[in-house]
Structure 1
Amino acid sequence: MRPSHIALAFLVAIIWGVNFVSIKLALTGFPPILLTALRFALAALPALFIARPAGIGWKQLATVSTFLFTGHYVFLFMGIDQGMAPGLASIVLQCQAFMTMLIAAGMLGERPRPQQLLGAGVAGVGLLVTATTVGLDVTWIGFGLTLLAAASWAMGNVLMRQLPPSPTLPLMVWLSVVPPLPVFTLSLLFEGPERVAAALTGVTWTAGLALLYIVVLSTLVGFGIWGMLLREYKASLVAPFSLLVPVTGTVAAHFAFGETFGPMRLTGMALLFAGIVITILPWRKVRPAVA
């Protein structure tokens, strides 16, 4: 990769890691379901100027977006709102990597390689170890909602693989067109018109700027750069940079909120991270030299 593109890949990892801090700050002014609706309403605005990707119908957009965007972010935002630590969320959410593998095995008949099964096993042990620390500074409901976010993201990954090849940024923009109205309706039903109105009329600088960070930097800039890199290089070369996201996420949460990790949680997070590394990174078979 060219040095400038390596720098851009690192930049995206930093943007997406700091995004977990931004979510926590945005939730100080917006309830989680409303925040999801606003995020995608703003992210969908470029659809006024960008054509819908060719060969992708509304039914396909709605199906993929329901899992990749709606379920993913409603559960994630609710999880952090209900007591999931942002730094820990950045690690646990990456369970989507081996969840995607398991769902693809069931839906697409793809047989996992031994390396992937090993990675899933290590990550599963890490998840169990991490779960033993729930109840100290992290709630069970927040932890569970974050796992549901990872599962929804994984299902969205599998469904998106069935779409025709499309440029990443236009696809992300048009997938963002789907959630705003139904999610805003859910917000009115579950969070109440009074709470929604109070949030919309009393926006603070902190929550407003955090929302703009989530929309502009994390969604449009982040996915725009990521899509460009995937068009320039093989996915196996680009994807490993995503492993930096939980690293930057935990560091950002530590500096922003003083989030700390005890020995047991650090062990669980390290096992989770190791399992994801084993699952994602390409491992070449060592062939014996031919005399």
Structure 2
Amino acid sequence: MTNRDRLLGLTVVLLWGLNFLAIRVGLNHFPPFFFAALRFAVLAVPALLFIPRPRIRVRWIMLYGIGFGILQFAFLFTAMRVGMPTGLASLVLQSSAPFTVLLGALFLRERIRPVQTAGIAVAVAGMAVIGWDRLEHATLLPVLLTLAGGLGWAFGNIGARLAGTESPGVNPLHLMLWTTAVPPLPMFALSAFAEGPTTGLRALADSFSVAGLPALVALSYIAVLATVVGTGLWTYLMGRYPAGMVAPFSLLVPVVGIAAAWVFLGEVPTPLSLVGGGVVIAGAFAATSNKPRTAEEHAAVVAPSPTAVLVASGRPAAGRAGALASRGRPDPGSKS
């Protein structure tokens, strides 16, 4: 991964870490399912009207939208509404990292090494510590709901990865914006059924007041900065690199989320939760780590192939290698 793309990953970390503060502010005003639908609806309408549909199969857009949009936020918002602390939610949601590795191995045939298996086991142990601590202080249900949200996020990651693999040149921002069209209708329907047909509408009307202004600011932050910018960058990285290489960035989000909740909301995490969180991050880091390149592999990456030289000079490359290079894909027979 290039240094530029690492900086993009850290930008996502900052935007998503502060996003949990915005979620807390929004949930103090909106019911969770309606709030989840609203955050995507404000983007879906202009996306469908003005953004051309990416040239990928609809199934990958649906998988991305259902996993990242519906499952993740339906469970996460509900968990935070029923008592999940803001900072702890940012931590437990990072269970998506080991979930992504497991789903990548299952559906994308990405190889899991022994150290990754051990890392997943350590991360699970850390989650058990957090669950035990929550049982001591409150209830386990919010933790389980947040874990379900992490699994939903992992399915969304797989959808983004498949979309990027199928069409390497796909515009990541266009892909992300089109996925926002998936959650609104199901989430509005769920809100009407579970929260009442007029509850969300009344909350929306009340938000256009001095008292409701923080909720509108929170909605704007979530929609524009966290979703358009943050998720757009994340989609770009997921389409460019293996899922296991990108997922570790999400492990830094709790550092920002817990610190922000501590400073702005006065949420002081318990020592046992911090210990469990450290175990989770260590295990998830191991689960999503990549094997260092050998000297031969490094040389193959640094040294341009003859095909790449031909393409760079403007001369056509012959055969299968030329066709693949013209699409930005390496020849399977080359060491790159």
TM-score bracket for the superposition, by shorter chain length: 0.7 to 0.9
Change (3 A) 1:198 1:226: same
The one of 215, 228, 233 aligned to 1:220: 228
1:232-272 CA distances to partner (integer Å, 9 max, x unpaired)? Answer: 88877765443321111111111121111222111101000
In the other structure, the counterpart of 1:175 is: 179
In the other structure, the counterpart of 1:155 is: 155
Structure showing greater relative contact order (alpha-carbon pairs closer than 8 Å, 6 or more residues apart): 1
In the other structure, the counterpart of 1:273 is: 281
In the other structure, the counterpart of 1:191 is: 195
Check if 1:14 corresponds to 2:18: no
Counting matched residue pairs gives 286
Which has more radius of gyration?
Answer: 2
**How does the TM-score come out when normalised to structure 2?**
0.77
In the other structure, the counterpart of 1:94 is: 94
The one of 185, 198, 214 aligned to 1:206: 214
Distance 1:91 1:179 in 2: 24
In the other structure, the counterpart of 1:245 is: 253
Comparing 231-240 with 86-95, greater Cα deviation is found at 231-240
After superposition, where does 1:74-89 map in structure 2 within 5 Å? 74-89=74-89
Comparing 12-21 with 101-110, greater Cα deviation is found at 101-110
Q: Is the 8 A contact 1:167 1:227 kept in 2?
A: no
Give the Å deviation of 1:227: 4.6
In the other structure, the counterpart of 1:257 is: 265
1:5-33 CA distances to partner (integer Å, 9 max, x unpaired)? Answer: 65544332111101011101100111000
Q: Secondary structure of the equivalent of 1:134?
A: helix
Give the Å deviation of 1:60: 4.0
Q: Secondary structure of the equivalent of 2:112?
A: coil
Contiguous gaps of at least 5 residues in structure 2: 296-336
Q: Is the 8 A contact 1:17 1:248 kept in 2?
A: yes
In the other structure, the counterpart of 1:37 is: 37
Comparing 162-171 with 24-33, greater Cα deviation is found at 162-171
Distance 1:64 1:231 in 2: 12
Comparing 223-232 with 36-45, greater Cα deviation is found at 223-232
1:162-204 CA distances to partner (integer Å, 9 max, x unpaired)? Answer: 3323322111111111111121111111100231232111010
Q: Secondary structure of the equivalent of 1:161?
A: helix
In the other structure, the counterpart of 2:103 is: 103
Contiguous gaps of at least 5 residues in structure 1: none
